[in-house]
Structures are given as structure tokens and as C-alpha cells.
Amino acid sequence: MLGTHSTTVPKDEIRSILEQLEARFGRPRLIARFDPMDELVSCILSQHTSDANSFPAFTNLRATYPDWQDVVDAGPERVADAIRKAGLANQKSKNIVACLIEIYTRFGSYTLEPLRTMPTLQARKWLMELPGVGPKTASIVLCFSMGRETIPVDTHVYRVSWRIGILPEHVGEVKAHDLLLDSVPSELAFRYHVDLIQHGRVICKAPLPNCSACPIRERCRWFQAGGPEQHASELKVKRRKVAKAP
């Protein structure tokens, strides 16, 4: 049955898969966008929305309240007005203010620099104790602002990972963070994250991938098991049912 294939992909094969993807898309380089505090708040704003909405909201927040203490003093209601474009502004503003208060309480200032001295999994656990911070947000902060060997799992990383056989299909994005850390060589973590996002956006799309253009289809468990054809057939059946519905 599809989705129950083995996930014991050798680490050397994972390395080879990334090299094939990078021959197509280029090898990514890690360039920090923000410091850890900015990255954390930016990530919270990006939840359940696009970069086109979250980045302007972040820019407006920092312009309106230049210091983190200004954000705390403003309170959730006024912060929500500043980040409205990011969507879910009321909830996100509460989480941002609560995170800032918690960080200040623990470290005595608005900083995440003490995380640099923690082991990676301990630092991720610490971040996940903050309001509104799950494994993806925590992993992004550690990966992109500190260069730590974490793998943020978004919908593209998750979908491509199970299609090529590195994850079970129905494990879920939350558990996938730990499973990928066990499966992917640590020094390849950043490259894995970026390569699979690029591949998922351009070729291995949902609902149907462009397998004819895929440089790794011969290594793809889903392709070898006839997954694309089966999925295409299932979609046709669903569309017929929708078309016949009154």
C-alpha cells in the first residue's frame, strides 16, 4: 500500500539526492536574514500566511515600535493594529507580547543569545515553551539566525520527504522534525530544507508532481510504486463526483 514503504534511506543516498537536486537548482548558502529575536517575531507573523503578507507586517511593527520594550508597553491590541496585514493579528499579537515578556523574565533582557551555548535540541525545546512557538518556528530561528543543524518542516519538505521515502506518509509535520534529524546527516540539514522546498515548489507539486521533469524520480519510492498515476486517478474520480453533485 502506498505510504507504507520503507523509510530506511541510507544517509549516502540522501546526500546523493541533494546533489542531484542542486545540480538542477543550485546549492543553497546560509545567509542570516535577521538576528534571533527578529527571526522569532517574523516567524510568528508568517504562520498561516504568505511572506508577501508577513514581511510588510514585520516591517511596520519594527517601524512603529523600534524597541521590544515598546512592543510590550503597547500591548496586544495596539500591536495587532500594526501587524493586521499578516492575518490572525489578535492571536499573533498576544503571542508576540507574551513571548517577549517570557524571554525578558528568563534572560533579563530581550535576547535569545543564551541559546547559542545550549545543545541544539535543548535550545529548540526552550523555544517551544514560548507561546505560539512550535517545532517549525523554533527550527527556523535556530537554523536561519544561528546556523544550527535543524530542519524546519513545511508542507513542501514534508510532502517531498514522504514521496521519496524518507518519512512515512502520515507521520505529520510535527513528528517529522525529529524523524528527519535522525535520518538526514546533520551537516546537510540546511541544504535538505532548502533543496526540498525548491523541488516541492517547482516540480514535486501538490496535488500532482511533474515527474517527467524530476531529476530524482528513479530514486523516488512514490514514483516507483505508481503513486502519481494512482493519485491522478483518484483526483479524476473526485472531480467527477463534484461535477455530478446537485
Report the catalytic residues.
136
Quick one: which of 50, 128, 48 has its CA closest to 88? 48
Quick one: which of 39, 24, 27 has its CA closest to 148? 39
Rounded to 10 degrees, what is the CA torsion of 235, 240, 243, 246?
Answer: -120
Residues 6+ apart with CB under 8 A from 41: 58, 61, 96, 99
Phi and psi, residue 19, nearest 5° = -65, -40
What's the burial of 128, exposed, middle or buried (CB within 10 Å: 0-12/13-18/19+)? middle
Rg of the chain over Cα atoms, rounded to whole angstroms, equals 20
CA dist., res. 60 & res. 66, Å (int): 10
**What is the number of alpha carbons within 13 Å of residue 179 lying toward its C-beta?**
20
> Which cell goes with 133?
512557538
Measured in whole angstroms, the distance separating CA 179 from the mean position of its chain's CA atoms is 14
